[in-house]
Structure 1
Amino acid sequence: MTVEQAISDISALPPSDQLRIVQAIWDQLPSGVGTELTDLQRAELDRRWAEYKADPSTALSEDDFRQRIRVARGR
């Protein structure tokens, strides 16, 4: 079976089964895989952190963040 065939087969499953497969694969990956940042990503995180430190009022509370997500999803 090719990777493309596996992806096609998995895509045909209900979302709950797809999520179970993703979780099982993620749990089996070695520690640190896929978590490395590029220089560009690290620079963006540093920029955002400096922006927050300069003016903490720019940050959203967790409740505000979740509400924005619900609104964006139409819920």
Structure 2
Amino acid sequence: MLEWGYGESSMTVEQAITDISALPPSDQLRIVQAIWDRLPDGIGTELTDSQRAELDRRWAEYKAKPSTALSEEEFRERIRVARGR
């Protein structure tokens, strides 16, 4: 269990996540952005070999037949429909 504290009180990561989860989504996003901005450059952005291979496969597929690609608007519409909105 991970703990940190200030003075006499401490909080586990699980408690922090529970507390943050109770906030409105806009506040949760602000917290995520603040944490992300404080991380060292490059951390968490490295690709695994399988992720790199999948990106290469998708790029080759697109290059072979660009007409299969969706515009951003088409992509967002598909997501909206899939979510039932």
TM-score in same-fold range (> 0.5): yes
Does the alignment pair 1:6 with 2:54? no
How much is the aligned-residue C-alpha RMSD, in angstroms? 1.0
2:55 aligns with one of 24, 31, 45: 45
Q: Equivalent residue of 1:34, what SS?
A: coil
Between Structure 1 and Structure 2, the one with more strand by share is 2
Larger radius of gyration: 2
Between Structure 1 and Structure 2, the one with more helix by share is 1
CA offset at residue 23 of structure 1? Answer: 0.9
TM-score, length of structure 2 as denominator length: 0.81
Give the structure 2 partner of residue 16 of structure 1. Answer: 26
Distance 1:28 1:72 in 2: 34
Unaligned runs of 5+ in 2: 1-10
Give the structure 1 partner of residue 3 of structure 2. Answer: none
Which one-letter code corresponds to 2:42 in the other structure? G
Identical counterparts, % of pairs = 88
1:68 aligns with one of 71, 74, 78: 78
- Give structure 1 regions of 4+ aligned residues with deviation exceeding 3 angstroms: none
